[in-house]
């Protein structure tokens, strides 16, 4: 038991290192980039990076959840793990071709992206490489030490190279090129190690399509979430100038860096709770409930810091030129608690219970609501309106999830019903 908790704590620590370097190092470069590129070029870079986030979303296809779940349950079976890994990577390869075709169409249809074709395509390449990452596999087998080291070194070099080579206002493309090079090196090294653990093979067409089918519901969920987490910078760009987009994007990057501190707890608990729900549903339910409380308290603390210290944070990280981003960051501070509750309920409770479809419906509803509100608020209130749009969408997720769980009597206080749901899920599962 002590060994299990030791591994759990070690994985939390390693994932915190990944998250810290993933967002802290970019936060170090943000003050430099906003000053060197200027607010307009920073805004252009933010727009193509927002598009790149969609590419990563499509290629990852929800495999960060479904892949981890499959590998976690079958981690002791090398043959099945090999089949899962190969078929998921085959699916990612197919999706990579798809996003290239999408980018061709997007360049023709959207004038805002057509203005900077070199930035658009460099962002596309960088995002494809990042989407092909295999961190999900190491998370599933609970062996995060190696991938943590590789990820940290990659981001460290990316930061250094940014300071060395980005010197002029038009060097946004160099920022993306550096991301391409460091991410590709990290991916190759990771593949070499995985090849020593399992046999990597060319998957059959059926295996690839089966993964796409089985992961579709989780993809829809993550895609719906993206409608109110990554699309707003693009939507804002349709109704205002790149400078205002830059204000919003700057505050959003700081907020995402802060909210990412929840991910290590969330990611480490997720495979553990999935296993425990199958083996001991009552204790699994208790663990999930405690996880939700912990994530919510951390979110409350971080949100309070953002609200109180927003002016100081903006001045240090973005500079005096971005003072209009202060109220946006304060709005994101209130958002932090709401997101932490939504994250806990969705990932630590509804997904382990197999309520993928129900969570999908809720997130799709939130995504549609976000688009409608965003279009109205972007015209009326511009960048601050976009921040309030996200709050409305996330609040919808929390309230809708709570109503559904209480209505169906599937809360931690209705453990007998939860046990029955888990039994039914186990009898129909892929294993």
Q: What is the pLDDT of residue 6?
A: 59
Q: Using one digit for the tens of pLDDT, what is the confidence trace for 290-313?
A: 888 888 898 899 999 999 999 999
**Which of 180-184, 366-370, 376-380 has the largest mean confidence?**
180-184
Q: What is the pLDDT of residue 431?
A: 46
How many angstroms separate the Cα of 134 from the Cα of each of 77, 139, 189, 190, 409? 18, 9, 11, 7, 37
In sequence order, the 6+-apart residues with CB closer than 8 A to the CB of 360 are 217, 218, 220, 221, 224
| Segment 132-146 mean pLDDT | 81
96-105, 108-117, 219-228: lowest mean pLDDT where? 219-228
| Segment 349-374 mean pLDDT | 84
Model confidence at 104: pLDDT above 70: yes
* Residues 16/146, Cβ–Cβ less than 8 Å: no
- Cα–Cα distance measured from residue 191 to residue 265, given in angstroms and rounded to the nearest whole number: 26
> Any idea how long the chain is?
431
Q: At what angle do helices 242-259 and 232-239 cross, to 10 degrees?
A: 170
How many angstroms separate the Cα of 3 from the Cα of each of 7, 9, 111, 112? 6, 10, 56, 54
Q: What is the pLDDT of residue 247?
A: 87
- Cα–Cα distance measured from residue 47 to residue 115, given in angstroms and rounded to the nearest whole number: 11
Average pLDDT over all residues of the chain: 82
- Cα–Cα distance measured from residue 383 to residue 249, given in angstroms and rounded to the nearest whole number: 9
Q: What is the pLDDT of residue 22?
A: 64
Nearest to 351 by CA among 401, 399, 392: 401
Q: What is the pLDDT of residue 358?
A: 85
Q: What is the pLDDT of residue 228?
A: 65
| Segment 371-394 mean pLDDT | 88
Tokens standing for residue 68: 């981890």
How many angstroms separate the Cα of 89 from the Cα of each of 63, 100, 148, 234, 398? 10, 17, 20, 29, 33
Q: Using one digit for the tens of pLDDT, what is the confidence trace for 197-217?
A: 888 888 888 889 988 888 887
7-11, 171-175, 231-235, 307-311: lowest mean pLDDT where? 7-11
Model confidence at 191: pLDDT above 50: yes
Q: Using one digit for the tens of pLDDT, what is the confidence trace for 260-271?
A: 778 777 777 777
| Segment 314-336 mean pLDDT | 89
């Amino acid at each position: 038991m002590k060994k299990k908790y030791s591994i759990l704590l070690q994985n939390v620590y390693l994932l915190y290192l990944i998250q810290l370097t993933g967002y802290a190092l970019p936060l170090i470069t943000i003050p430099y980039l906003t000053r060197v590129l200027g607010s307009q070029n920073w805004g252009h870079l933010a727009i193509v990076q927002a598009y790149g986030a969609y590419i990563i979303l499509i290629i990852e296809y929800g495999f960060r959840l479904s892949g981890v779940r499959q590998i976690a349950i079958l981690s002791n079976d090398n043959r099945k793990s090999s089949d899962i890994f190969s078929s998921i990577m085959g699916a990612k390869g197919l999706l990579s071709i798809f996003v290239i075709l999408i980018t061709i169409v997007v360049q023709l249809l959207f004038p805002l992206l057509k203005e900077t074709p070199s930035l658009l395509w460099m962002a596309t390449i960088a995002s494809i490489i990042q989407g092909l990452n295999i961190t999900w596999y190491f998370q599933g087998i609970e062996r995060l030490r190696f991938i943590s080291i590789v990820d940290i070194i990659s981001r460290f070099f990316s930061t250094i190279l940014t300071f060395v080579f980005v010197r002029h206002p038009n060097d946004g493309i160099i920022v993306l090129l550096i991301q391409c090079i460091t991410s590709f090196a990290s991916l190759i090294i990771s593949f070499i190690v995985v090849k020593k653990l399992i046999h990597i093979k060319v998957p059959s067409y059926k295996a690839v399509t089966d993964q796409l089918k089985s992961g579709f519901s989780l993809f829809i969920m993550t895609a719906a979430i993206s409608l109110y987490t990554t699309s707003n910078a693009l939507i804002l760009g349709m109704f205002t100038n790149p400078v205002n987009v830059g204000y919003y994007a700057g505050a959003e990057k700081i907020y995402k860096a802060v909210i990412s501190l929840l991910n290590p707890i969330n990611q480490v608990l997720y495979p553990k709770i999935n296993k425990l729900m199958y083996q001991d549903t009552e204790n699994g339910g208790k663990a999930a409930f405690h996880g939700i409380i912990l994530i919510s308290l951390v979110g409350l603390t971080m949100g309070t810091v953002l609200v109180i210290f927003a002016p100081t944070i903006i001045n240090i990280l973005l500079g005096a030129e971005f003072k209009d981003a202060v109220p946006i960051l304060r709005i994101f501070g209130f958002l932090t608690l709401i997101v932490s509750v939504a994250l806990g309920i969705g990932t630590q409770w509804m997904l382990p219970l197999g309520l993928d479809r129900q969570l999908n419906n809720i997130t799709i509803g939130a995504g549609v609501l976000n688009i409608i509100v965003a279009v109205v608020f972007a015209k009326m209130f511009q960048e601050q309106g976009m921040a309030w749009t996200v709050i409305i969408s996330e609040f919808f997720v929390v309230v809708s999830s709570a109503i559904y769980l209480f209505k169906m009597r599937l809360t931690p206080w209705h453990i007998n019903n939860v046990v029955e749901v888990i039994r039914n899920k186990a009898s129909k599962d892929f294993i």
